[in-house]
């Protein structure tokens, strides 16, 4: 896991529309909030994506881009986005290389784990916080961006597994 002040690893991934996103393009321009989530279209991940969507104007007011990353495909991301009206950019890390570069993803944790990373416009990592539900986490991230202090930690959030009648990622 990155420590506060570590360089945020640069990356380039395709989004739901198969357009490439390059993290280096934001250095010096915007803050970046990355949320790494397990699967598209699960109850917790859907709630979280909708929270980020609802709060997008507040993040934009703080010159912050919010990006969701999972190991789902671009097609899965597009279906998830369109089904729920999500307007947060979702990136496909099919091989898990970005997840691994950020040191926050382990295969055994793939189910029910969301982790967060804030990279200020300097390209350095800020840290982590735990919250009981996505809405609390997104709100706390906004407060974190107000200060961008090194004690602002955005960390792993474990959720109980939800039982689904139908599940898709």
What are 118's strand-pairing partners? 33
Q: What is the CA radius of gyration of the chain?
A: 15
Q: How far is CA 81 from the centre of its chain?
A: 14
Contact assessment for residue 23 and residue 101, using Cβ atoms and an 8 Å cutoff: no
Q: Which residues are catalytic?
A: 45
CA angle 165, 167, 169 (to 5 degrees): 170
Query: How big is the chain, counted in residues?
Result: 169
């Amino acid at each position: 896991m990155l420590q506060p002040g570590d360089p945020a690893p640069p990356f380039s991934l395709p989004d739901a529309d198969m357009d490439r996103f390059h993290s280096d393009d934001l250095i010096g321009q915007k803050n970046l909030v990355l949320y790494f989530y397990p699967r598209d279209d699960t109850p917790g991940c859907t709630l979280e994506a909708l929270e980020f969507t609802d709060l997008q104007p507040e993040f934009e007011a703080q010159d912050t881009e919010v990006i969701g990353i999972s190991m789902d495909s671009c097609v899965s991301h597009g279906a998830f986005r369109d089904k729920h009206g999500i307007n947060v950019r979702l990136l496909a890390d099919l091989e898990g290389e970005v997840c691994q570069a950020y040191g926050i993803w382990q295969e055994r944790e793939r189910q029910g784990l969301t982790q967060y990373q804030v990279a200020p416009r300097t390209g350095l990592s800020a840290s982590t916080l735990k919250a009981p539900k996505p809405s609390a986490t997104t709100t706390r991230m906004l407060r974190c961006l107000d200060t961008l202090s090194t004690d602002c930690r955005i960390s792993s959030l474990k959720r109980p597994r939800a039982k689904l009648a139908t599940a898709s990622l």
